[in-house]
Amino acid sequence: MTAADTSPLGLFERYLSVWVALCIGAGVGLGLLVPGAFSAIAAMEYANVNLVVAVFIWVMIYPMMVNVDFASLKDVGRKPKGLCITLVINWLIKPFTMAALGILFFEHVFAGLVSPEDAKEYIAGMILLGVAPCTAMVFVWSQLVRGDANYTLVQVSINDIIMVFAFAPIAAFLLGVTDIVVPWETLLFSVLLYVIIPLAAGYFTRKSLDRNGDHERIAAFTGKVKPFSVMGLLATVVLLFGFQAGTIVEDPAVIGLIAVPLLVQSYGIFAVAYLWGYVWRVPFATAAPAALIGTSNFFELAVAVAISLFGLNSGAALATVVGVLVEVPVMLSLVAFANRTRHRFA
């Protein structure tokens, strides 16, 4: 079998950044060719939530939530060091460093290149990325470094439960720090719509599939619906860049400007978590996934909340989609680095 045959990354996941880049081009092109169609879609809103985008994002998120196994929480006390690294990085470090980098770059380093209003929205999008720890692709990264799959499941499950309670308060606090007025009702509604309801749907789906302890049925189901998750993501990217077409054509360099602090954040967070695991003598199979979980983002949630809070045409929504573009190549480079340094761990 070839490496491609045995890779846990499917065709879509392996080249996700390529597909995202193609969808960006398609979205911008269509947005310029048929702006009326995108205006009509943008008008399909209820309570500041675009219904078309909401459907696509639900298609993205639901398959991921089926992977969350609440039964794994009984193992929470096993290997507490790895769990400690994951939780501290995700909830006490990463959101705040993301906000700090956003302020540093867009209010100082890039101050002369973007307007103050746009800068605030780009910072807001980065904050939403930083407050949303990854749920789905983490399982792929863990498998690529031959991490402890069961323990990765524990880490992700606990992160998702914490996210139900911590996402809105931390996001609101950090958005307030950047002088952005936070509509609490919209933020809480977004958490309900894109976290709590999909998590509950995933739980009941998993429970119905696993009545006889047959995990193979769950694996078969998630395997079938996973392509729809990627299709939902790509459709959302086309729509978002179609809505943003005019802005992007006028200033295409803005995508590169947004990518810079996101790259600094990703590599910096991984370095902190990975070195922490090394110094604390955490086994590689636990330390590497912990660092990768801390680095990766639940960009689907960030995109959804950015749209709900700031609108389809906002800089915040654009920033979260740029996060999708840089995520896969960055994470693959970190996986390669982790595998090369595996021998340095106890």
Among candidates 236, 203, 228, which has minimal Cα distance to 305?
236
Question: What is the rounded end-to-end Cα distance, in angstroms, of the chain?
Answer: 31
Q: What is the pLDDT of residues 265-317, one digit of tens each?
A: 999 999 999 999 999 999 999 999 999 988 988 876 788 788 888 887 789 98
Q: Exposed, middle or buried: residue 1 (CB in 10 Å: 0-12, 13-18, 19+)?
A: exposed
Distances (CA, A) of 227 to 19, 223, 230, 240: 13, 8, 5, 20
Residues of the chain with pLDDT under 70: 1-14, 16-17, 47-48, 72-73, 75-77, 135-137, 182-183, 212-214, 300
Left (φ > 0), alpha (ψ -120 to 50) or beta: where does 283 sit?
Answer: beta
Among candidates 225, 201, 215, 321, which has minimal Cα distance to 10?
225
What pLDDT is attached to residue 288?
93
∠ at Cα 327 (321, 45), nearest 5°?
A: 25
Locate the domains of the chain by residue range. Answer: 9-344
C-alpha to C-alpha distance for 60 and 314, rounded to whole angstroms: 21
Place of tokens 């439960």: 161
What pLDDT is attached to residue 287?
92
What pLDDT is attached to residue 95?
95
Q: Kindly give, in sequence order, each residue whose CB lies less than 8 Å from that of residue 225, ignoring residues fewer than 6 positions away.
A: 62, 63, 66
Among candidates 134, 139, 186, 180, which has minimal Cα distance to 159?
134
C-alpha to C-alpha distance for 128 and 253, rounded to whole angstroms: 22
Q: And the tokens for 52?
A: 């078309």
Q: 303 with 317: CB under 8 angstroms?
A: yes
> Domain 9-344 class?
mainly alpha
What pLDDT is attached to residue 2?
40
What pLDDT is attached to residue 305?
84
What pLDDT is attached to residue 110?
94
